[in-house]
Amino acid sequence: MTIRSGDGSAGDADYGRIAAPYARFRQPDPRIARQIAAALGEARTVVNIGAGAGSYEPTDRVVTAVEPSAAMRAQRPAHLSAAIDACAEALPFADKAFDGAMSTISVHQWRDLAAGLSEMRRVTRGPVVILTCDPDAMASFWLTDYCPEITAVEASRFPPIDRIVRLLGGRADVRPVPVPLDCTDRFNEAYYGRPEGLLDPEARLSCSSWSFVSPEVTARFVATLGRDLADGSWDRRHGAWRTRPELDGPLRLIVS
If you average pLDDT over residues 108-112, what whole number do you get? 93
What's the pLDDT score for residue 122?
Answer: 97
Reference 103, options 88, 91, 115; nearest CA is 88
Report the C-alpha gap between 256 and 250 in whole angstroms.
Answer: 19
- Residue 61 located in a structural domain: yes
pLDDT at 110 over 60: yes
Structural domains counted in the chain = 1
CATH number at residue 103: 3.40.50.150
- Residue 76 located in a structural domain: yes
pLDDT at 229 over 80: yes
What's the pLDDT score for residue 6?
Answer: 53
What's the pLDDT score for residue 71?
Answer: 85
What's the pLDDT score for residue 225?
Answer: 98
Residues in the chain: 256
- Residue 2 located in a structural domain: no
- Residue 228 located in a structural domain: no
Reference 175, options 27, 28, 39; nearest CA is 39
What's the pLDDT score for residue 14?
Answer: 55
Report the C-alpha gap between 75 and 182 in whole angstroms.
Answer: 23
Neighbours of 85 (CB within 10 A): 14
If you average pLDDT over residues 120-130, what whole number do you get? 97
pTM: 0.89
Query: Residue 91 is part of which domain span?
Result: 15-136+155-190+247-255
- Residue 101 located in a structural domain: yes
Give percent of the chain with pLDDT exceeding 70.
91
- Residue 6 located in a structural domain: no
If you average pLDDT over residues 9-36, what whole number do you get? 73
What's the pLDDT score for residue 94?
Answer: 98
pLDDT at 16 over 60: no
pLDDT at 11 over 60: no
4-13, 95-104, 119-128, 179-188: least confidently modelled range: 4-13
- How do residues 163-196 score in pLDDT, each as one tens digit? 999 999 999 999 999 999 999 999 999 999 999 9
If you average pLDDT over residues 224-248, what whole number do you get? 98
Confidence of residue 21 (pLDDT cuts 50, 70, 90): low
Question: Which residues, 6 or more positions from 180, have their beta carbon under 8 angstroms from its beta carbon?
Answer: 29, 31, 245, 246
- Residue 21 located in a structural domain: yes
Confidence of residue 7 (pLDDT cuts 50, 70, 90): very low
Handedness of CA 117, 121, 124, 129 (dihedral sign): positive
Mean pLDDT of the chain: 92
Question: Which residues, 6 or more positions from 87, have their beta carbon under 8 angstroms from its beta carbon?
Answer: 2, 4, 10, 66, 68, 110, 111, 116
Neighbours of 131 (CB within 10 A): 22
In the 8-state DSSP scheme, what is residue 133?
E
Strand partners, 102: 48, 129
Report the C-alpha gap between 102 and 107 in whole angstroms.
Answer: 10
- How do residues 39-54 score in pLDDT, each as one tens digit? 999 999 999 999 998 9
In the 8-state DSSP scheme, what is residue 43?
-
- Residue 160 located in a structural domain: yes
Asked if residues 255 and 173 have their Cβ atoms less than 8 Å apart, the reply is yes
